[in-house]
Amino acid sequence: MTRDGAPLHGLDLNLLVTLRALLQAEGVSAAAARLGQTQPTVSRALAVLRTAFDDPLLVRSGRLMVRTPTADALLPRLERILAAVGSLEHAGTFDPATSDREFRLIMPSMAEPVLLPRLVEHLRDKAPRVNLQVGSTQADPLARVLAGAVDVALGRRLDHAEVRARVMRPGLPSFVTLIGKEHPAYGSTLTEELWLASDHVMLRVEGGDSRGSSVDRMLAERGLERRIAVQASGMATVLELVERQPFVFSFSATLVEPLVRERAIEVHDTPLALDLTGLQLAMCWHESNHADPANRWFRQVVAESLSF
Protein backbone atom coordinates (compact mmCIF):
# COMPACT_ATOMS: atom_id res chain seq x y z
CA MET A 1 0.00 0.00 0.00
CA THR A 2 1.33 3.48 -0.83
CA ARG A 3 2.04 5.88 1.99
CA ASP A 4 -0.90 8.20 2.74
CA GLY A 5 -2.48 7.06 -0.53
CA ALA A 6 0.33 8.68 -2.56
CA PRO A 7 0.67 7.10 -6.03
CA LEU A 8 3.85 5.17 -6.83
CA HIS A 9 5.05 5.44 -3.24
CA GLY A 10 5.23 9.22 -3.40
CA LEU A 11 7.15 9.40 -6.68
CA ASP A 12 7.48 12.94 -8.02
CA LEU A 13 4.96 12.83 -10.85
CA ASN A 14 7.13 15.20 -12.88
CA LEU A 15 9.37 12.16 -13.36
CA LEU A 16 6.65 10.61 -15.48
CA VAL A 17 7.45 13.19 -18.17
CA THR A 18 11.08 12.06 -17.99
CA LEU A 19 9.97 8.43 -18.14
CA ARG A 20 7.94 9.07 -21.28
CA ALA A 21 10.94 10.72 -22.96
CA LEU A 22 13.20 7.83 -21.95
CA LEU A 23 10.86 5.17 -23.26
CA GLN A 24 10.14 7.02 -26.49
CA ALA A 25 13.78 7.84 -27.20
CA GLU A 26 15.08 4.51 -25.85
CA GLY A 27 18.19 6.16 -24.52
CA VAL A 28 19.42 8.58 -21.87
CA SER A 29 21.27 10.94 -24.21
CA ALA A 30 18.38 11.28 -26.64
CA ALA A 31 15.89 11.74 -23.79
CA ALA A 32 18.08 14.42 -22.20
CA ALA A 33 18.26 16.32 -25.48
CA ARG A 34 14.49 16.03 -25.89
CA LEU A 35 13.88 17.35 -22.37
CA GLY A 36 16.56 20.04 -22.46
CA GLN A 37 18.28 18.53 -19.42
CA THR A 38 21.76 17.23 -18.77
CA GLN A 39 22.58 13.55 -19.25
CA PRO A 40 23.54 13.03 -15.54
CA THR A 41 20.18 14.51 -14.46
CA VAL A 42 18.26 12.10 -16.68
CA SER A 43 20.48 9.17 -15.57
CA ARG A 44 19.62 9.91 -11.92
CA ALA A 45 15.94 10.13 -12.82
CA LEU A 46 16.12 6.73 -14.54
CA ALA A 47 17.64 5.22 -11.40
CA VAL A 48 14.75 6.57 -9.31
CA LEU A 49 12.21 5.29 -11.83
CA ARG A 50 13.74 1.82 -11.89
CA THR A 51 13.34 1.64 -8.13
CA ALA A 52 9.79 2.96 -8.21
CA PHE A 53 8.66 0.43 -10.84
CA ASP A 54 10.93 -2.36 -9.65
CA ASP A 55 12.05 -2.91 -13.23
CA PRO A 56 15.08 -1.83 -15.28
CA LEU A 57 12.74 -0.26 -17.88
CA LEU A 58 15.60 0.17 -20.39
CA VAL A 59 18.30 -2.47 -20.93
CA ARG A 60 21.36 -2.37 -23.13
CA SER A 61 21.34 -4.41 -26.31
CA GLY A 62 24.67 -3.95 -28.07
CA ARG A 63 25.20 -0.20 -28.43
CA LEU A 64 21.49 0.51 -28.02
CA MET A 65 18.99 0.47 -25.18
CA VAL A 66 15.63 -1.25 -25.57
CA ARG A 67 12.45 -1.24 -23.53
CA THR A 68 11.64 -4.09 -21.21
CA PRO A 69 8.20 -5.78 -21.44
CA THR A 70 7.10 -3.71 -18.43
CA ALA A 71 8.21 -0.54 -20.18
CA ASP A 72 6.31 -1.57 -23.31
CA ALA A 73 3.18 -2.00 -21.19
CA LEU A 74 3.74 1.33 -19.41
CA LEU A 75 4.29 3.55 -22.45
CA PRO A 76 0.73 3.67 -23.91
CA ARG A 77 -0.79 4.12 -20.45
CA LEU A 78 1.76 6.79 -19.66
CA GLU A 79 0.91 8.68 -22.82
CA ARG A 80 -2.81 8.60 -21.98
CA ILE A 81 -2.18 9.76 -18.40
CA LEU A 82 0.05 12.65 -19.42
CA ALA A 83 -2.38 13.68 -22.15
CA ALA A 84 -5.14 13.80 -19.54
CA VAL A 85 -2.95 15.80 -17.16
CA GLY A 86 -2.10 18.21 -19.96
CA SER A 87 -5.79 18.76 -20.63
CA LEU A 88 -6.44 19.94 -17.08
CA GLU A 89 -5.42 23.50 -17.91
CA HIS A 90 -8.21 23.54 -20.51
CA ALA A 91 -10.82 21.98 -18.25
CA GLY A 92 -12.60 25.31 -17.77
CA THR A 93 -12.84 26.18 -21.45
CA PHE A 94 -15.89 25.71 -23.64
CA ASP A 95 -16.08 25.36 -27.41
CA PRO A 96 -19.72 25.71 -28.54
CA ALA A 97 -18.93 24.50 -32.06
CA THR A 98 -17.95 21.03 -30.82
CA SER A 99 -19.66 20.71 -27.44
CA ASP A 100 -22.46 18.21 -26.91
CA ARG A 101 -23.36 19.59 -23.48
CA GLU A 102 -26.97 19.71 -22.34
CA PHE A 103 -28.28 23.03 -21.04
CA ARG A 104 -31.31 23.16 -18.76
CA LEU A 105 -33.64 26.13 -18.99
CA ILE A 106 -36.96 26.95 -17.34
CA MET A 107 -39.31 29.69 -18.53
CA PRO A 108 -42.97 30.60 -18.16
CA SER A 109 -45.03 28.48 -20.55
CA MET A 110 -46.78 31.64 -21.78
CA ALA A 111 -43.42 32.89 -23.11
CA GLU A 112 -42.35 29.65 -24.75
CA PRO A 113 -44.14 30.04 -28.14
CA VAL A 114 -42.23 33.24 -28.87
CA LEU A 115 -38.96 32.92 -26.98
CA LEU A 116 -38.08 29.27 -27.53
CA PRO A 117 -38.00 29.27 -31.38
CA ARG A 118 -35.63 32.25 -31.36
CA LEU A 119 -33.36 30.60 -28.81
CA VAL A 120 -33.28 27.29 -30.69
CA GLU A 121 -32.39 29.13 -33.90
CA HIS A 122 -29.46 30.80 -32.15
CA LEU A 123 -28.26 27.54 -30.63
CA ARG A 124 -28.41 25.60 -33.89
CA ASP A 125 -26.41 28.34 -35.57
CA LYS A 126 -23.73 28.66 -32.89
CA ALA A 127 -23.63 25.21 -31.28
CA PRO A 128 -25.36 22.58 -33.43
CA ARG A 129 -24.46 19.67 -31.15
CA VAL A 130 -25.63 21.03 -27.79
CA ASN A 131 -28.87 19.77 -26.30
CA LEU A 132 -31.55 21.93 -24.69
CA GLN A 133 -33.91 20.78 -21.97
CA VAL A 134 -36.78 23.20 -21.34
CA GLY A 135 -39.21 23.13 -18.45
CA SER A 136 -41.82 25.50 -17.08
CA THR A 137 -41.62 27.67 -13.99
CA GLN A 138 -44.68 26.03 -12.48
CA ALA A 139 -42.50 24.31 -9.89
CA ASP A 140 -40.64 26.66 -7.53
CA PRO A 141 -37.95 28.17 -9.81
CA LEU A 142 -35.87 29.43 -6.90
CA ALA A 143 -35.66 25.95 -5.38
CA ARG A 144 -34.62 24.49 -8.72
CA VAL A 145 -31.89 27.09 -9.25
CA LEU A 146 -30.56 26.60 -5.72
CA ALA A 147 -30.57 22.82 -6.17
CA GLY A 148 -28.53 23.10 -9.36
CA ALA A 149 -31.37 21.48 -11.35
CA VAL A 150 -31.28 24.19 -14.04
CA ASP A 151 -28.64 26.35 -15.67
CA VAL A 152 -30.86 29.38 -16.25
CA ALA A 153 -34.33 30.43 -15.13
CA LEU A 154 -36.33 33.00 -17.10
CA GLY A 155 -39.18 34.86 -15.49
CA ARG A 156 -39.42 36.90 -12.35
CA ARG A 157 -36.24 38.01 -10.64
CA LEU A 158 -35.25 35.54 -7.93
CA ASP A 159 -33.92 37.45 -4.95
CA HIS A 160 -31.50 35.24 -3.02
CA ALA A 161 -27.89 35.55 -1.89
CA GLU A 162 -26.85 32.52 -3.99
CA VAL A 163 -28.60 33.65 -7.17
CA ARG A 164 -27.40 36.09 -9.80
CA ALA A 165 -29.94 37.88 -11.99
CA ARG A 166 -29.98 40.08 -15.05
CA VAL A 167 -32.97 42.06 -16.26
CA MET A 168 -33.34 41.18 -19.91
CA ARG A 169 -34.92 44.44 -21.09
CA PRO A 170 -33.67 47.39 -19.00
CA GLY A 171 -36.30 49.74 -20.41
CA LEU A 172 -39.98 49.47 -19.60
CA PRO A 173 -41.72 46.76 -21.61
CA SER A 174 -44.43 47.81 -24.02
CA PHE A 175 -47.83 46.82 -22.63
CA VAL A 176 -50.43 46.41 -25.37
CA THR A 177 -54.08 45.38 -25.51
CA LEU A 178 -55.54 42.90 -27.97
CA ILE A 179 -59.11 43.07 -29.22
CA GLY A 180 -61.02 41.05 -31.80
CA LYS A 181 -63.65 42.00 -34.36
CA GLU A 182 -66.45 41.47 -31.82
CA HIS A 183 -65.16 44.28 -29.63
CA PRO A 184 -66.76 47.74 -30.16
CA ALA A 185 -63.35 49.41 -30.48
CA TYR A 186 -62.26 47.14 -33.34
CA GLY A 187 -61.20 49.34 -36.24
CA SER A 188 -61.46 52.41 -33.99
CA THR A 189 -59.83 53.86 -30.90
CA LEU A 190 -59.60 52.04 -27.58
CA THR A 191 -60.15 54.64 -24.86
CA GLU A 192 -59.37 54.32 -21.17
CA GLU A 193 -63.07 54.33 -20.34
CA LEU A 194 -63.81 51.56 -22.83
CA TRP A 195 -60.80 49.53 -21.66
CA LEU A 196 -62.03 49.70 -18.05
CA ALA A 197 -65.62 48.89 -19.04
CA SER A 198 -64.66 45.85 -21.15
CA ASP A 199 -64.62 42.22 -20.05
CA HIS A 200 -61.01 41.13 -19.66
CA VAL A 201 -59.23 37.85 -20.22
CA MET A 202 -56.31 37.16 -17.90
CA LEU A 203 -53.54 34.67 -18.52
CA ARG A 204 -53.03 32.72 -15.35
CA VAL A 205 -49.29 32.62 -14.61
CA GLU A 206 -47.76 29.56 -12.96
CA GLY A 207 -47.30 30.24 -9.30
CA GLY A 208 -49.17 33.55 -9.53
CA ASP A 209 -52.03 34.84 -7.42
CA SER A 210 -55.32 33.81 -9.05
CA ARG A 211 -57.09 36.66 -7.25
CA GLY A 212 -55.40 39.32 -9.31
CA SER A 213 -52.27 40.44 -11.10
CA SER A 214 -49.75 43.22 -10.74
CA VAL A 215 -51.86 45.21 -13.21
CA ASP A 216 -54.92 44.87 -10.95
CA ARG A 217 -52.90 45.98 -7.94
CA MET A 218 -51.69 49.04 -9.81
CA LEU A 219 -55.24 49.83 -10.85
CA ALA A 220 -56.43 49.47 -7.25
CA GLU A 221 -53.79 51.97 -6.11
CA ARG A 222 -55.44 54.49 -8.45
CA GLY A 223 -58.93 53.58 -7.30
CA LEU A 224 -59.70 51.76 -10.55
CA GLU A 225 -60.90 48.25 -11.25
CA ARG A 226 -61.40 46.01 -14.26
CA ARG A 227 -63.62 42.95 -14.62
CA ILE A 228 -61.80 39.69 -15.22
CA ALA A 229 -64.37 37.61 -17.09
CA VAL A 230 -62.13 34.62 -17.86
CA GLN A 231 -58.83 33.31 -16.53
CA ALA A 232 -57.07 30.93 -18.90
CA SER A 233 -53.88 28.94 -18.51
CA GLY A 234 -52.71 28.93 -22.12
CA MET A 235 -51.87 31.69 -24.57
CA ALA A 236 -53.56 29.89 -27.48
CA THR A 237 -56.83 29.76 -25.51
CA VAL A 238 -56.57 33.45 -24.66
CA LEU A 239 -56.08 34.42 -28.31
CA GLU A 240 -58.99 32.23 -29.40
CA LEU A 241 -61.27 33.93 -26.86
CA VAL A 242 -60.17 37.41 -27.90
CA GLU A 243 -60.77 36.61 -31.56
CA ARG A 244 -64.30 35.25 -30.97
CA GLN A 245 -65.60 37.33 -28.04
CA PRO A 246 -65.78 41.07 -27.17
CA PHE A 247 -62.93 40.62 -24.69
CA VAL A 248 -59.73 42.56 -24.20
CA PHE A 249 -56.38 41.09 -23.27
CA SER A 250 -53.48 43.24 -22.08
CA PHE A 251 -49.97 41.84 -22.05
CA SER A 252 -46.35 42.37 -23.06
CA ALA A 253 -46.01 43.38 -26.69
CA THR A 254 -42.84 41.30 -26.98
CA LEU A 255 -44.75 38.11 -26.24
CA VAL A 256 -48.06 38.65 -28.01
CA GLU A 257 -47.44 40.66 -31.17
CA PRO A 258 -45.70 37.79 -33.03
CA LEU A 259 -48.64 35.50 -32.24
CA VAL A 260 -51.48 37.58 -33.72
CA ARG A 261 -50.21 38.20 -37.23
CA GLU A 262 -52.42 35.50 -38.72
CA ARG A 263 -55.48 36.31 -36.61
CA ALA A 264 -58.32 38.82 -36.83
CA ILE A 265 -56.95 40.62 -33.79
CA GLU A 266 -55.88 44.24 -33.46
CA VAL A 267 -53.04 45.44 -31.26
CA HIS A 268 -53.75 48.70 -29.43
CA ASP A 269 -51.69 50.74 -27.03
CA THR A 270 -53.07 50.19 -23.56
CA PRO A 271 -54.74 53.51 -22.72
CA LEU A 272 -53.49 53.72 -19.14
CA ALA A 273 -50.22 54.98 -17.75
CA LEU A 274 -49.00 52.06 -15.62
CA ASP A 275 -45.67 51.49 -13.91
CA LEU A 276 -44.64 48.21 -15.55
CA THR A 277 -41.19 47.89 -14.01
CA GLY A 278 -42.26 44.77 -12.14
CA LEU A 279 -43.19 43.03 -15.38
CA GLN A 280 -39.66 42.96 -16.73
CA LEU A 281 -38.25 39.59 -17.70
CA ALA A 282 -35.24 38.44 -15.68
CA MET A 283 -32.61 35.78 -16.30
CA CYS A 284 -31.38 34.07 -13.13
CA TRP A 285 -28.64 31.55 -12.41
CA HIS A 286 -26.81 30.07 -9.43
CA GLU A 287 -23.79 31.94 -8.12
CA SER A 288 -21.64 28.81 -8.50
CA ASN A 289 -22.20 28.92 -12.28
CA HIS A 290 -21.42 32.60 -12.67
CA ALA A 291 -17.82 32.14 -13.88
CA ASP A 292 -18.36 28.80 -15.66
CA PRO A 293 -17.46 29.38 -19.35
CA ALA A 294 -20.24 27.14 -20.67
CA ASN A 295 -22.91 28.71 -18.47
CA ARG A 296 -21.62 32.19 -19.27
CA TRP A 297 -21.80 31.42 -23.00
CA PHE A 298 -25.33 30.03 -22.66
CA ARG A 299 -26.50 33.11 -20.77
CA GLN A 300 -25.10 35.32 -23.50
CA VAL A 301 -26.90 33.35 -26.20
CA VAL A 302 -30.15 33.56 -24.24
CA ALA A 303 -29.70 37.31 -23.88
CA GLU A 304 -28.96 37.75 -27.58
CA SER A 305 -31.85 35.61 -28.74
CA LEU A 306 -34.33 37.38 -26.46
CA SER A 307 -33.33 40.90 -27.45
CA PHE A 308 -36.29 42.34 -29.30
pLDDT digits (tens, 9 = 90+) for 205-221: 654 544 557 788 888 98
Which pLDDT score is estimated for 192?
93
Which pLDDT score is estimated for 1?
39
Q: How would you write the chain as a 3-class SS string?
A: CCHHHCHHHHCCCCHHHHHHHHHHHCCHHHHHHHHCCCHHHHHHHHHHHHHHHCCCCEEEECCEEEECHHHHHHHHHHHHHHHHHHHHHHCCCCCCCCCCCEEEEEECCCCHHHHHHHHHHHHHHHCCCCEEEEEECCCCHHHHHHCCCCCEEEECCCCCCCEEEEECCCCCCCEEEEEECCCCCCCCCCCHHHHHHCEEEEECCCCCCCCCCHHHHHHHHCCCCCEEEEEECCHHHHHHHHHHCCEEEEEEHHHHHHHCCCCCEEEEECCCCCCCHHHCCEEEEEHHHCCCHHHHHHHHHHHHHCCC
pTM greater than 0.75 (yes/no): no
Which pLDDT score is estimated for 3?
46
Which pLDDT score is estimated for 125?
92
Give tens-digit pLDDT for 19-63.
999 998 888 999 999 889 999 999 999 999 999 899 999 998 888
Which pLDDT score is estimated for 172?
47
